[in-house]
Structure 1
Amino acid sequence: MYSRHAQEILAGVPEGRLVAVDLLRGFAIAAMVLVNNPGSWSYVYAPLAHAEWHGWTPTDVIFPLFLFVVGLSLVLANGGGKEFPAVGWRYWSRALKLFALGLLLAIFFYNFHDASYSWPQDRLENIRWLGILQRIALVYIICCYLLRWCSPRGLLLVALALVAVPWLLMLSVPYASDSGEVFRGELSFGNHFSAWLDQAVLGSAHLYYRNAQPFAFDPEGLLTTLPAVATCLLGVLAGLGWKAAEPSPAGKTRIAMRWLVCGLLLLGLGQLLHPWVPINKALWSPSFVAVTGGVSLILLAACFYFADIRRHHRALAPLLVLGVNAIALFMLAGIVGRLLIMVPVGDLSLKQWLFDGFYRPLFGGYGGSLLFALSCLAVFYAVMWQLYRRRIIWKV
């Protein structure tokens, strides 16, 4: 049965398409849905949770991996053209739609359990301006211009600058709290230059960690968007390397090995830097860019080798279904996830009712929480499969 399903999936892949990119995108969005939809946040296995502050877990790689694939896709979408086209409405409309979808998710919530709840005040007046889709939008449009203006060597230099300059600002620029206390070079939760900037520009009410002290901040903040652009540029450079490679089997093997070696070097560099430059997702530190870029390149090399060189498609075929409609899946998961929390069942939410009444009694806290997330992913996959088999691709 699985073999027939895989064959039907692969029948929809256009001839000559770089399958590894869709697989990698599918893996990233599937992992994102999985970690964002546990049965209970009180029961999450360590690899499926973010690092509390410094350090990293597999979950911390997911968002950078998605941005890496955005960079890859930017290059591949340009076909055989040597020069990236002018950045017109086509690109700006995509960025604006992504940003708007992020804002839609930010306001899509209502607390039916609280009779005094004010949706306009909570969701409109205090709207969170930044978020995952908003960061993708900003990174995407910035990379479009950089790809248009810069040579490959120029892109590498810009990527290095986008990693180094924000970190130097984080370490060197003094900033003061409302009480007048002056700080410099702090890298703790709620106390770093990026947090001060987020609160000063956007206001604490519009940030994810609005109660952090002494400064509210956003994990997708303003300053840390710049090194996130560098993560996307690593995907751009990987894509440019693929386009410049020889189309022969030997040429494909060489580019896969180059990605693998570069990935291992970046991963090792990030780990070596960690004692002096902490690996930190919220700060998007230079070591974090190196580690997650290294993992992304290693995964790309593996997908490319198995799917595009060795042609071992079948085992990974379902990731194609998720990868070609990644934004649709992200929106579906976000809306359904919020509905599960919003819909009341007595004094409980529908999600808590399902978890406490079925998943936890049968499978325990951690097992039930993971199985709940897998159940959500299975339901979402069924929807995405119906879109895929009808050749419906939601292009933002």
Structure 2
Amino acid sequence: MEPTPQKGKRLTSLDALRGFDMFFIMGLAGIVIAVTKLFPDSTVMQWLESQMHHVEWHGLTHHDTIFPLFLFIAGISFPFSLESQRRAGKSHREIYRKIIKRGITLVLLGVVYNGFFQLDFENLRYASVLGRIGLAWMFSALLFVRFGTKTNLALAIVLLVGYWLALWLIPNSSDPYSFEDNLVGTVDRMLLPGKLIYGSFDPEGLLSTIPAIAMAMFGMFTGQWIQLPSERYPDTKKTSYMLIAAVLLILIGYIWSLQFPINKKLWTSSFVCVVSGISLILFSLFYYIMDIKGYTRYALFFRVVGLNSISIYLAQEIVSFSKISNYFLGGLIKHLPELYGGLLSHIGYFTVCWFFLYFLYKKSIFLKV
């Protein structure tokens, strides 16, 4: 019999971490790159600049962790939502219906983001970041509700190992993890309609959703762990155990990568283990600082974004925040040296996005899916 979870409370750390993660999509990566260009001879700055880009194929940079962290956070949130629904007397059928509705909604929003209203369906990309989150979270949530922790942990392991074996053993290729010849691309070309972003395959395609399900499940295990009663499991102990688990996941990932390379575009199982560990470390730090120690003075700066993360993700594709920024700062930028003008331009874009979300926050307008 599993311990009874403590009554749910909204974690300041979770909203803040989601906001921190979205900062890089919202323009912080551009600011960092602009700063590094001011110091072209600095080895440290060159390394930092490289971390703001995705790797071409095998390997890992900070930029490769942004999307997985968001999925991990979505997983952490679900046990709290599930507990709230159960306290409200929701039946399993109602809970399942809500999960499926949310998953499908995210898939549809992803298609809209990719240009649905251009009505060019032959060249429309149907796979998407939001679609990956929707499907991976949905299947993980359905499993989480249906089965116990031990069964779900076993299923997560089966998904990761099975995905590895499928990519390794099925293709008739000397390099089954190559860009040119991999099982992920074969499945995408067979089953995905419309445009594949890389021509031969899509990094948010169908088959690579399998390991993403396991990653969302790791997030759900984390949320479930946080829910355990503080009387029996002190918060500091929870944090320590999370950090230990994070280190183990990273070690497993890097050892696994000796045979199954770390690769975001393929969402390899080694990649999932490493980025899950990194995500768990970040959450542990935010949780310890904000929810255990209560240092929330600057939390609002992050939470404004974290509470409306999907809004800003979609809005950046629809609203020209750069034109708004340029309206106020364009004259000053013209009179600055090119590198400093570029930096100010990136800062202006980020600032306009943040104030847009702050306005929504003050008006209590939140896009909830």
Q: TM-score range by the shorter chain?
A: 0.7 to 0.9
Question: Cα RMSD over matched residues?
Answer: 3.1
Asked whether the equivalents of residues 54 and 280 of structure 1 are also in contact (C-alpha less than 8 Å), the reply is yes
Q: Distance in 2 between matches of 1:130 and 1:194?
A: 13
Match of residue 286, structure 2, among 266, 278, 303: 303
Structure 1 stretch 149-158 or stretch 386-395: which is displaced more? Answer: 386-395
Q: Distance in 2 between matches of 1:270 and 1:375?
A: 38
2:121 matches 1:124: yes
Deviations 1:56-97 (A, max 9, x none): 001111111001011111111123649994344322222222
2:14 corresponding residue in structure 1: 21
1:362 corresponding residue in structure 2: 337
Partner SS, residue 188 of structure 1: coil
1:335 corresponding residue in structure 2: 318
Deviation at residue 208 of structure 1 after TM alignment = 0.6
Deviations 1:336-356 (A, max 9, x none): 36x86xx9xxxxxx99xx99x
1:270 corresponding residue in structure 2: 253
2:98 corresponding residue in structure 1: 90
Partner SS, residue 191 of structure 1: coil
Q: Distance in 1 between matches of 2:92 and 2:76?
A: 16
Alpha-carbon spacing, 1:183–1:359, altered in 2? closer, same or farther (3 Å) = farther
Alpha-carbon spacing, 1:46–1:88, altered in 2? closer, same or farther (3 Å) = same
Alpha-carbon spacing, 1:369–1:153, altered in 2? closer, same or farther (3 Å) = farther
Deviations 1:165-210 (A, max 9, x none): 1111111113xxxxxxx5365211232111111112225x521112
2:185 matches 1:201: no
Provide the aligned length of Structure 1 versus Structure 2.
Answer: 342
Question: What code does the residue aligned with 2:128 have?
Answer: G
Partner SS, residue 83 of structure 2: coil
Question: What code does the residue aligned with 1:362 have?
Answer: P
Map 1:121-200; keep pairs closer than 5 Å: 123-174=120-171, 183=173, 185-200=175-190
Asked whether the equivalents of residues 359 and 369 of structure 1 are also in contact (C-alpha less than 8 Å), the reply is no
Gaps of 5+ in 1: 1-14, 110-118, 175-181, 211-215, 344-349
Structure 1 stretch 307-316 or stretch 80-89: which is displaced more? Answer: 80-89
Match of residue 361, structure 2, among 372, 377, 388: 388
Structure 1 stretch 291-300 or stretch 258-267: which is displaced more? Answer: 258-267
Q: Distance in 1 between matches of 2:277 and 2:11?
A: 20
Deviations 1:206-241 (A, max 9, x none): 21112xxxxx11011111111011110010000111
Partner SS, residue 279 of structure 1: coil
Alpha-carbon spacing, 1:375–1:275, altered in 2? closer, same or farther (3 Å) = farther
Q: Distance in 1 between matches of 2:125 and 2:351?
A: 30
Alpha-carbon spacing, 1:381–1:275, altered in 2? closer, same or farther (3 Å) = same
Match of residue 280, structure 1, among 238, 260, 263: 263
Q: Distance in 2 between matches of 1:271 and 1:149?
A: 32
2:78 corresponding residue in structure 1: 74
Gaps of 5+ in 2: 1-7, 38-47
Alpha-carbon spacing, 1:170–1:126, altered in 2? closer, same or farther (3 Å) = same
Give the TM-score normalised by the residue count of structure 1.
0.78
Q: Percent same amino acid at aligned positions?
A: 30
Question: What code does the residue aligned with 2:79 have?
Answer: V
Give the TM-score normalised by the residue count of structure 2.
0.83
Structure 1 stretch 188-197 or stretch 371-380: which is displaced more? Answer: 371-380
